[in-house]
Structure 1
Amino acid sequence: MQNKTPQLLILFRLLLGPTMIFLTYKFGNAIRTELVLLLFLGLLSDIFDGIIARRLSVSSEKLRRMDSQTDLVFWLCVSWCGWILNPEIIINHRYAIAIIFLMEGLTYIFSLAKFKKETCTHAILSKLWGVTLLVAFISMIGFGCAGIPFFLAVFFGVIGHIDVYLIIYFLPKWTHDVPSCYHAYLIKKGKSIKRNRLFNG
């Protein structure tokens, strides 16, 4: 059962997103504080599923791909909650949001076109974007405002996606857990790279 802990954490996050949408529709503004707490639980599950998998030596391509796709579903659900609670914020920043969605979609198009697989880089800048997303959604869902946290999420979202594009471009074959485009360049040159045991497999 211990070896299934990473999968259970991923499943927890997968179910958490739709649960948050249900609670938001049912309780509206009264559930804001609880949604923020659930956001933190989602983040913690994302952090520890990889750490535990590596400590148990059960980290695999399948698990990392499952983790990436679950992250996408979770953040889409959180975005939906933000829309339900603060439609005016989404409307006022629709162009910036559209750019991020477009860039995310392009990562899949580029990766599928080159490797016939979805991207699964778990890059450092992407993780940093995840942190800024968390702060932005805490600001939006918890307090009903965008401000600097939203700007930072968009900024690091753009930078992080450009990094992923370059990773896809440099990689000679599909590889998961590539820390940055520089590391992808090293792989292209046939050099070995050092991955951080805390963040990458």
Structure 2
Amino acid sequence: MPIKLTSIPSILVGLRFVLALLLFFDALDHQTSWFFILAYLLAVFSDIFDGIIARRLNVSTIQLRQADSWADICLYLCVALSIWLVYPQVLIDFRLPLLLAVAAQVTLFSLSLLKFRKFPSFHTYTAKFWGLTLLIATVSLFVFNNSVPFWLAIALCYLNSIEEIVMVLVLPIWQCDILSVFEAMEKRKSLLLEADSVKEA
């Protein structure tokens, strides 16, 4: 049975869930093979192209974007678990900045749940840059045994968390695919104007 073009973004999101679990299973013996980096790169490329293809095919639904966010969480959780299994000392060395990063993300998700009853799914520019720095840091660690780039990834996590926390506070209703805090400000204005016009009508 041929695959429909419109199904490709969903397939790529599902593939990322599968690859995330395979990364974890590859690290269970406290070492990784060439497959780990190959699968991780494939997962990152699936993350890049699922959104691009979805917009081109006009199938970028809220459900798909939320699933994309969950796939990202699953991927990086499995990467973190893999690092703990293979390079536990790295997580110990970075424990304080990592705990602060986790606290920032938990704050973001908690605020979004409290205000909107949904997890955030903004896909901001800072999130994209954060993903890029995570790619560099992960490849650097698993290929070159170098953990220094994690400082940059952690810094981008702080920046992204702060921006998205402000966006959650600013926006009156849940929104996805808001690329920056400046776009969130503009969206807030348009939503409030729309609400005022409805009241006047």
- In the TM superposition, residue 37 of structure 1 has moved relative to its aligned partner by 1.8
CA deviation digits over 1:28-58, x for unaligned, max 9?
4351x33122211111000111111111111
1:131: which partner in 2? 132
Helix, strand or coil at the partner of 2:59: coil
TM-score (norm 1): 0.90
1:121: which partner in 2? 122
* Paired residues, number: 188
| Structure whose CA Rg is larger | 2
Q: Tell me: higher relative CO, structure 1 or 2? Use CA pairs within 8 A at least 6 residues apart.
A: 1
Contact map agreement 2:123 2:176 (CA 8 A) in 1: yes
- Alignment of 1:17 with 2:6, yes or no, is no
Contact map agreement 1:81 1:141 (CA 8 A) in 2: no
1:174: which partner in 2? 174
1:29: which partner in 2? 31
Unpaired runs of 5+ residues, structure 2, are 192-201
CA deviation digits over 1:147-176, x for unaligned, max 9?
1x1110011110011010111111111110
Helix, strand or coil at the partner of 1:117: coil
Helix, strand or coil at the partner of 2:120: coil
Helix, strand or coil at the partner of 2:31: helix
1:111: which partner in 2? 112
1:150-169 equivalences in 2 (<5 Å) = 150-169=150-169
Letter in structure 1 aligned against 2:174: W
Helix, strand or coil at the partner of 1:190: helix
Identity of paired residues, percent?
32
Q: In structure 2, what is the Cα distance between the partners aligned to 1:52 and 1:190?
A: 28
1:197: which partner in 2? none
TM-score (norm 2): 0.90
Q: In structure 2, what is the Cα distance between the partners aligned to 1:25 and 1:113?
A: 36
